[in-house]
Amino acid sequence: MRNGWRAARLVVLAPALASIGFAHAAGAPEIPPQEVRIIGESGEVAKRKPASEVEAYCLNIADEAQDARYAQEQKQLTELEAEIGKQIDALEAKRKDYQQWLEERKSFLESASTIIVDIYAKMKADAAAAQLAQIDRSSAASLIARLKSRQASDILSAMPPATAAEITNLIVQKTSTGGSMDEKQVAERKP
């Protein structure tokens, strides 16, 4: 009968021993067994008393609790990663908007050729104002923006107030760092 129990134990333990062997063969890190150390008042490790039911329970669930903590931390890291990804996307969209605005501003300022700017710079303010009031507002604004500030102010003061206001709005719209205004904002600013 004793030999029968030994054989039964061997049959029951064989799969457990095999799984341990496979875990080590697969390169899984070896986790040392959990143990409770009791340090006495003198600072030395006290002799181990037989484990109580509470200690045995704590030792048995230590790995599960650690796994649960790791799972919670992994979940939090995944959520943070998703949030950071959204913020990066938002910043990338803002960067594209700014880049587009910068391109519009550059093309606006470069749209007036240097020759035309030189011609209007040498004209009298009232003559330049009369001619600039007749061309489209975007071209006039581009030309005035490339003139020296004293010449630009003389030309704008010689124009009718409504025309000067429209051209000034276009200059502000295309050159300010706040970006371009939509039609509603421009309409609200008109007197």
> What's residue 181's pLDDT?
47
List the chain domain ranges.
1-30, 31-96, 111-189
How far lies 12's CA from each of 5, 6, 15, 21, 25, in Å? 10, 10, 7, 15, 21
Write the pLDDT tens digit of every residue in 46-91: 666 666 777 777 777 777 778 888 899 999 999 999 999 999 999 9
Residue for token digits 């799969």? 15
How far lies 49's CA from each of 35, 58, 59, in Å? 12, 15, 15
Instruction: Judge: domain 111-189, CATH 1.10.220.
Output: yes
Tell me which residue of 151, 150, 189, 158 sits closest to 173, measured CA to CA: 189
How far lies 136's CA from each of 39, 93, 155, 184, in Å? 90, 32, 16, 20
Range scoring the smallest mean pLDDT among 26-30, 40-44, 102-106: 26-30
> What's residue 51's pLDDT?
65
Structure pTM? 0.40
94: which 2 tokens? 């803002």
